[in-house]
Amino acid sequence: MTLSLDYATLSDVGRVRRNNEDSAYAGPHLLLLADGMGGAAAGEVASAAAVQVIRRLDTAEISGEDMIEALAGAVHRANERLSELVEEDPEREGMGSTVTALMFDGKQLGLAHLGDSRAYRLRDGQLYQLSHDHTFVQSLVDEGRISQEEAFTHPHRNLILRVLDGRPDSDPDLEMLDVQAGDRLMLCSDGLPDYVSDEVIAASMASGTPDSVVVDLITHALEAGSNDNVTVLVADVVETEPASGIQPQLVGAAAELAQGSTGRGEPTVAIRTSGGEGHGGGGHGGAVDPEELRYAPRPPKRFAWLRRIAVLVVVLGLIGGGGWFAYSWTQKQYYVGTDGDYVAIFKGIEADLPGLSLSKVYERQTLQVDKLPTYSREQVESNIQADDLAGARSIVAELQHTAAECAAKPTPTPKPSTPVPSSKPPASKPPVTTAPVSTPPPSTAPTGSASPSTPVDPDDCDGVR
């Protein structure tokens, strides 16, 4: 069974404001409301621009889950449009708009929401809020710090946290919702729920046609002392042909700007410019317009390009200053290494960047590397780090002392061998009568060298050339 929407929408500038910053659109497949903000003439520009972009989704060609993707894309395109408008006129910096949209395919709804405008559904006499406020007060309620009743009268209930403002972080809440015949849908700007309780809203929505309900709700808001623009859109989900037809309805700033109006009009009642009395009947007056405080931490910015250049100069200055500081530090470091065949003291660090040398020879010594023992020579060739110049010179002095000791150490020579005299036989004697005495043969010691002298410790001066 395919359902249809019977809708009506109305927007009132209110009893205080001179211009209407709300915009709303109602069509057979799309219900859309945007509440602009930002001061000067920027609020109505923001809401009108958002509606003009997103209203293109009022088509029967998109259905089911595709509605979510279409809504997300349309909201992002509207956000880009706001960014373009700020680029065209820097005075618009800080403007923004809420967006609450319901896309309808005859069977279900796709919801996109950003800000503090609201979407409601009345089903079987029960009022249910479909959207979730992106406000400071709602965050306190979500955290359990205040009650919903306290939020209704909280002094900062107008402070909005998320909004369509041309910045890249403006992502909407997206959700698919069921729908059935007999449901009554309602979109409204914050000028209604900030002053009228849910009980009164539910009672007004319980009977009457969409046309009579929008009038009734706006009347309740004005009588409660709302000092804001009030825009209401009501749609009944029906099984028959809608009584309102299929002609789209456009109200508020979007309609006024489309007709060439500046969007400014006379207030419903005179605005007090002096005295201590508040505006309207709700006691929400004061010297400062609450609407100016909505996400007021973003005031209009002038000469944004100058600020960007200044930021760039500061960043480049920090990078350049950091680089110079690092280079200066390297030029205060010293180490001992080799410069050709000689020992040298280097200034800097052993690291080179493309096109930039970070070390140079500071003092070339008369000490040749070959005059050092192997261990000391390998140390020097690998570079010996020093704490400072005095430390480097102390290292060189130790190396020179080592080389001098090795040079003064005598080279060991073997002892000469002692020849053993050869034994001669005794001369012949005349024979005697006594028995001859046998003489033992002389010992024959082999000829050769004696034991070598003690060798030099190879660890002392090994490798000296």
**The residue type at 402:** T
Check pLDDT > 70 for residue 73. Answer: yes
Higher-scoring residue by pLDDT: 8, 450:
8
pLDDT the model gives residue 268 = 34
pLDDT the model gives residue 91 = 86
Residue 266's pLDDT band (boundaries 50, 70, 90)?
very low
Name the range with the highest mean pLDDT among 128-142, 361-375, 385-399.
128-142
**Mean pLDDT score, 376-381:** 85
pLDDT the model gives residue 387 = 85
Torsion on CA atoms 5, 8, 14, 15, rounded to nearest 10: -140
* Cβ-count burial 59-73 (b if 16+ within 10 Å, e if not): eeebbeeebbebbee
Higher-scoring residue by pLDDT: 443, 143:
143
Higher-scoring residue by pLDDT: 108, 324:
108
In contact, 11 and 35? CB cutoff 8 Å: no
Rounded to two decimals, the pTM is: 0.60
Short-list 60, 212, 35, CA closest to 113: 35
- Coil/strand/helix, residue 150: helix
Q: What is the pLDDT of residues 242-265, one digit of tens each?
A: 888 889 999 999 998 876 544 333
The string of DSSP codes covering 202-219 is HHHHTSS-HHHHHHHHHH
**Mean pLDDT score, 73-101:** 93
pLDDT the model gives residue 292 = 55
Q: Rounded distance, CA 187 to CA 34, Å? A: 10
**Mean pLDDT score, 293-304:** 51
Q: Rounded distance, CA 270 to CA 121, Å? A: 36
pLDDT the model gives residue 414 = 55
- Rounded to 10°, the helix 66-88/42-54 angle is 140
Check pLDDT > 60 for residue 295. Answer: no
pLDDT the model gives residue 284 = 40
Question: For a pLDDT cut of 90, what percent of the chain falls above it?
Answer: 45
Higher-scoring residue by pLDDT: 334, 411:
334
The string of DSSP codes covering 413-427 is -PPPP-PPPPPPPPP
Q: Rounded distance, CA 22 to CA 191, Å? A: 10
Q: Rounded distance, CA 215 to CA 234, Å? A: 10
Q: How far is CA 121 from CA 152, 185, 375, 382, in A?
A: 20, 5, 89, 80
Q: What is the pLDDT of residues 179-218, one digit of tens each?
A: 999 999 999 999 999 999 999 999 999 999 999 999 999 9
- CA angle at residue 377 from 376 to 381, to 5 degrees? 120
Write down the domain spans for the chain.
3-261, 331-408
**CATH number assigned to the domain with residue range 3-261, chosen from the 4 options 3.60.40.10, 3.40.1390.30, 3.90.700.10, 3.40.50.2000:** 3.60.40.10
The continuous run of DSSP H or E covering 379 comes out as helix 374-381
Q: Rounded distance, CA 188 to CA 24, Å? A: 9
Check pLDDT > 60 for residue 417. Answer: no
pLDDT the model gives residue 432 = 45
**Mean pLDDT score, 307-336:** 83
In contact, 71 and 174? CB cutoff 8 Å: yes
Higher-scoring residue by pLDDT: 308, 242:
242
**Mean pLDDT score, 375-403:** 87
Check pLDDT > 60 for residue 297. Answer: no
Q: Rounded distance, CA 29 to CA 5, Å? A: 8
Short-list 196, 193, 217, CA closest to 205: 217
pLDDT the model gives residue 451 = 35
- Average pLDDT over the chain reads 81
Check pLDDT > 90 for residue 316. Answer: no
Count, in order, helices (H) and strands (E) of the chain.
11, 16
Contact partners, residue 174, CB within 8 Å, separation at least 6 = 68, 71, 72, 110, 111, 112
**Mean pLDDT score, 372-387:** 86
